[in-house]
Amino acid sequence: MKIFTSAQIKELDRYTVEHEPIPSIDLMERAAKALTRAITDTWNNATPVVVFAGPGNNGGDALAVARMLGELNYQVSVYLFNISGHLAEECAANKKRLMESKRIKDFIEVTQEFDPPRLEKGMVVVDGLFGSGLNKPLAGGFASLVKYINASQADIVAIDIPSGLMTEDNTYNVRANIIHATLTLTLQQPKLAFLFPENQQFIGKLRVLDIRLSQEGMEKIEANYTVLEESDVRSMLLGRDPYAHKGQMGHALLIAGSYGMAGAAILAARACLRSGVGKLTIHTPKKNREILQIAIPEAVLQFDPEETIFSEAVDTEDFQALGIGPGLGISETTAIPLIAQLRRTTSPIVADADALNILANHRAWMQQLPKGIILTPHVKEFDRMEGHSSDSYERLTKARHLAERLQGYVILKGRYTAICLPDGHVFFNPTGNAGMATAGSGDVLTGILTALLARGYNPQDACVVGVYLHGLAGDLAARDLGEESLIAEDIIRYISRAFKRLKE
């Protein structure tokens, strides 16, 4: 599913109007019907409704909703803000229709002074002040109105997007001047801002309403952002030849686990083996010998000359993929062989955890990374690498630029993990849950990705399938075990079920 910018949303509206074809006022009526149904599904007509409408198309939607609620015997009071003395064409048309319906309890058009109504618990406020076209923070009287609405105990329903929230970039927004919706009824598709954690306080519960915008238009408009769907992932899966042997299923190398951090190597290795790789070799310090041989009998062990750390780059000619970083440690004795390993490896690479922390401590080394490398930072690891970001949009922008600069892949982990491609496109992953916020979850992802690369997936497909599979395994585990008790080992146990789900 594509995520469009505010400019592209307008373009899609125009395309629908021109090619369906449908008059824009009728398209607004279609949207208002969907919005009204959603409101009446939640609140009956004994609930008092106060509608705040702005002068643009968002206000036009709100006025149409007010009229339809009035026709369903809701007690509706409407405040239309026309401070500049100019209403958008569709807003003016819906004002006229509202006046003609004569089913509204109160209608006040605000042109100068405004005496706000009393907002109480048990009431519903419909926020139709500003929509997805907003491009600067609210100020003055509108900022005061937003604060007044937020201070009430009424339920707040935002039309399309909470007023004051911008569709993409809210880095320099004034967050005190944004509506805190109880329910956001967004039209056709989610907005990019809805995918960021710091904006959840404004959105409340989200419902996406299909208003039948042009499918052809959506396919034609190029978008930089896409939310993955299961059908996308399923189409990328590789089959297994019934006559295959382990040599044809890929040989992966995992460099992981300083002494005392063998657990990270175990988790990554088990996940790798569960993800379909034919053979796995683990390069690890000598002191990890016994625990790894007992914990992962299926793996071949290759020991570093040092007892406790990774100290020497190894030959990777016989391997189809390398995963490096989990539990590796960040000493300088490890840092030098790490960059040497990354520079000399010609097979696909997944770099995670301490590999990223070492790179953060040696930023000049970033320009030496091979093309096609996959980096899998969580938020703090990424900020160490690329500097602090004030919000998720700024961080995502940096991640996109990093992927383009390296001609590699940056998987920025979190809710809606962002997979940033070398061409600037971003896939957002919808699977996963809060139970996966647990130690070792990232090591599991490293193992999955390394296995898929060794199996023959190209880097982009490995990223997409791996991240989706990782989250799906976590979702299936949480469904049976609950989020609170989920541990990384549970994710590994459910990888097989996630594969089965996708293949079925």
Q: Give 313-359 as a DSSP string.
A: ----TT-SEEEE-TT----HHHHHHHHHHHHH--S-EEE-THHHHHH
Q: Is the model's pLDDT at 353 over the cut of 90?
A: yes
pLDDT the model gives residue 64: 98
- pLDDT tens digit string along 74-133? 999 999 999 999 999 999 999 999 999 989 999 999 998 899 999 999 999 999 999 999
Cβ(402)–Cβ(393) below 8 Å: no
- pLDDT tens digit string along 211-234? 999 999 999 999 999 999 999 999
pLDDT the model gives residue 39: 98
Chain-centroid distance, C-alpha 495: 21
pLDDT the model gives residue 113: 87
pLDDT the model gives residue 232: 95
- Please give the average per-residue pLDDT across 56-78, as a whole number: 98
Confidence band for 246, pLDDT divided at 50, 70 and 90:
very high
Q: How many CB atoms lie within 10 A of CB 86?
A: 10
Cβ(498)–Cβ(490) below 8 Å: no
Q: Is the model's pLDDT at 6 over the cut of 90?
A: yes
The mean pLDDT value of the chain amounts to 97
pLDDT the model gives residue 348: 98
Given 3-state DSSP classes, what are the helix, strand and coil percentages for the chain, each rounded to the nearest 5?
45, 15, 40
- pLDDT tens digit string along 174-185? 999 999 999 999
Confidence band for 397, pLDDT divided at 50, 70 and 90:
very high
pLDDT the model gives residue 326: 98
- pLDDT tens digit string along 308-347? 999 999 999 999 999 999 999 999 999 999 999 999 999 9
Q: Which amino acid is at 421?
A: L
Cβ(292)–Cβ(351) below 8 Å: no
Specify burial of residue 22 (Cβ count, 10 A radius: 0-12, 13-18, 19+). middle
- Please give the average per-residue pLDDT across 379-385, as a whole number: 97
Give the neighbor-by-neighbor strand order of the sheet with 251-255.
2-3, 225-227, 426-428, 418-420, 409-412, 374-375, 349-351, 321-324, 251-255, 279-284, 300-303
- Indicate the DSSP class of residue 432: -
Helix (H) or strand (E) holding 418, with range, is: strand 418-420
pLDDT the model gives residue 272: 98
- Please give the average per-residue pLDDT across 16-22, as a whole number: 97
In the chain, the domains with their CATH numbers are 2-222 (3.40.50.10260), 230-503 (3.40.1190.20)
pLDDT the model gives residue 102: 87
- Indicate the DSSP class of residue 177: G
Q: Is the model's pLDDT at 379 over the cut of 90?
A: yes
Chain-centroid distance, C-alpha 40: 30
pLDDT the model gives residue 465: 98
For helices 379-386 and 354-361, give the axis angle rounded to 10 degrees.
Answer: 20
pLDDT the model gives residue 35: 98
Backbone angles phi, psi at 473, to 5 degrees: -60, -40
Percentage of the chain beyond pLDDT 90 is 99
